[in-house]
Structure 1
């Protein structure tokens, strides 16, 4: 565990649980107590590490019996997930988030290593080098959405 920060440890703990089941339901306060951190640290890990871009759906129920449910999704089995990814991208996306989506597609065997490498080159800052960052982020979103649409309708 040397070299890992607490966020990495919590992420690995949750991913370990997910490796044995389709989903995990946790109480934020219980996990926070387990790792002796504040509950907002759990929120941070879930918000940054368990995103749709990374292949996870997160559902949260507030209140006394509240829970956070994290589910690992298989991208090709569920076209709705690709649709959700397209919605998440929206009108613009930064390079880091775009590469995260591409990495997830590769990890889930939706695309090959070569396809992933080509996709990364197409959305890279160096490729979309505009004086105005927003233009690059907008063009990156259009490119990535086009690629996802092609994957979604491929037979």
Structure 2
């Protein structure tokens, strides 16, 4: 353990807790106090070592009653396909192109018809209606990327 730096120790501590339970909820300041580090050190460890690619979903709430929740999830097998779709979506995507992305997910069995219809409703121009088309396409891309990221794992 002497060869471990403080980030390694914090990571090990959190992963040890996650071995016993699927989810851990922590207060950043309490963990920082426990390891005698600044709270930003906890942020660094969580941001770099508890990513979706590593099989973790992280949620946080700031403020007085704030917390950081880390959940271990099972990654799905078709990550390469979803990663390619995320790259294709990029920062902006038209409705027409986003329908093609959803069709691809449906055709490969990643989502069912009902899920496809829900996603279509969420990215429809009436749902993401803003003042200009460029902003609409950016909003649609953000929604699709979040959906695709969530499709990478099973809760």
TM-score by length of 2: 0.51
Gaps of 5+ in 1: 92-151
CA RMSD of aligned residues (A): 2.6
Counterpart of 1:71? Answer: 71
Counterpart of 2:6? Answer: 6
Gaps of 5+ in 2: 89-151
TM-score by length of 1: 0.51
Shift of 1:75: 1.3
Q: After TM superposition, where is structure 1 displaced by more than 3 Å over at least 4 residues in a row? A: 87-91
- What are the superposed Cα offsets for residues 62-94 of structure 1, whole Å, 9 maximum, x if unpaired? 1110000000101139x8xx59x6289636xxx
Which structure would you say has the larger RCO, counting Cα contacts within 8 Å and 6 or more residues apart?
2
The structure-2 alpha-carbon separation of the partners of 1:48 and 1:34, relative to structure 1 and needing over 3 Å to count, comes to: same
- From 60, 78, 86, the counterpart of 2:83: 86
Helix, strand or coil: the match of 1:90? helix
Larger radius of gyration: 2
Size of the alignment, in residue pairs? 88
Q: Distance in 2 between matches of 1:3 and 1:58?
A: 27
The structure-2 alpha-carbon separation of the partners of 1:67 and 1:75, relative to structure 1 and needing over 3 Å to count, comes to: same
